[in-house]
Amino acid sequence: MHLHKFEKIWLIFGVGMLIVFLSTVGVSAFYLGNQPPSCLATIDPEKVDETAPFNKPGLKKVEGKDWDYELVFVASAFNYNPGQVQVPKGAKVKVIATTKDVVHGFEIAGTNINMMLEPGYISEIVTTFDKAGEYTLVCNEYCGVGHHMMTSKIEVVE
């Protein structure tokens, strides 16, 4: 079989790039030990209400961390607990969330916060609320007939 010079160049380039990309992923995953964030923390979905910090959801001030507050949410059948919370403007907040029943979405409209909550896993993100106002927390993953009513409010106050 005869290959044209340009075909050989593109084949060598394609195979070379494939080797580079697969080597990068392999080194990152196996040698450096990088994993997706959902693999870091797990929880028994049947004991969410008994496990700290999910036994007392809401906003808590913390000391000695890289963030000022922890905002804990628990998603379950068509609601978020707490239903409404106030956060000080400019505070660095670690949002910690999980679900008790099925997969839920966790999107704070007007921000770049968008997580998927899966039973048995804890999702976390650190953010700063720089603008005062009211932010709506919505479920963007269909979770059943009451999905459209699944919201919560985060009020950022001065």
How does the average pLDDT of the chain come out, rounded?
A: 90
The DSSP string of 9-55 is: HHHHHHHHHHHHHHHHHHIIIIIS----GGGS-B--GGGGGGSTTTT
The residues spanned by each domain of the chain are 1-34, 38-156
pTM: 0.73
Fold of 38-156: Immunoglobulin-like (2.60.40)
| pLDDT tens digits for range 36-65 | 665 568 888 889 889 889 999 999 999 888
| pLDDT tens digits for range 96-144 | 999 999 999 999 998 889 999 999 889 999 999 899 999 999 999 998 8
Cα–Cα dist 58/72, whole Å: 5
